[in-house]
Structure 1
Amino acid sequence: MPNNNDLLSRISVDPNICSGKPCIKGHRIWVSLILGYLAGGESIETILEEYPGVEKEDILACITYGAEMSRN
């Protein structure tokens, strides 16, 4: 399993992309959207089917990002 730093490098926060909201690097998919799907009971596999090009590590990165932000 990738370490947290490797996972977090998959998340981008850029004021010129998605109004600065954290998103999966290379995609315009918000971290909060993915976390919302997971909180609603969607599986990682279902999310991956819905978003071609997104990898399992991207989903894990969203979870890691959410965990890190909740610590601050």
Structure 2
Amino acid sequence: MGSDRLALITTDPAVLSGQAVIAGTRVPVSVALDCLAAGMSPDEIVAEYPTLTLEGVQAAAAYGALLAREELVPLGPE
């Protein structure tokens, strides 16, 4: 994962209240990650959200991986 992939992730207070989005789209990173978590393939995600590219979906996954390394969230029993 290079920083070039992460360059595809942007934030702008004027776009979706500053949520991290995939550059050139209004698709939040969280939507791409939710789709991946639900078992959708990157190709299926791009088909569902035509403004996305495969590189954008990969960038979202890279961003999610970066956040997972940076912040520990306790996942105790429900």
Q: TM-score scaled to structure 1, two decimals? A: 0.90
5+ residue gaps, structure 1: none
Matches within 5 A, 1:7-46: 7-46=5-44
Larger Rg: 2
Deviation at 1:53, TM superposition (A): 3.0
CA distance in 2, matches of 1:54, 1:28: 9
Percent same amino acid at aligned positions? 39
5+ residue gaps, structure 2: 71-78
Deviation at 1:54, TM superposition (A): 1.4
* Structural RMSD (CA): 1.0
Give structure 1 regions of 4+ aligned residues with deviation exceeding 6 angstroms.
none
Residue in structure 1 matched with residue 73 of structure 2 by the alignment: none
The structure whose RCO (Cα within 8 Å, separation 6+) is larger is 1
> What is the aligned residue count?
70
Q: Deviations over 1:38-65 (max 9, x none)?
A: 0001111111111223111100000000
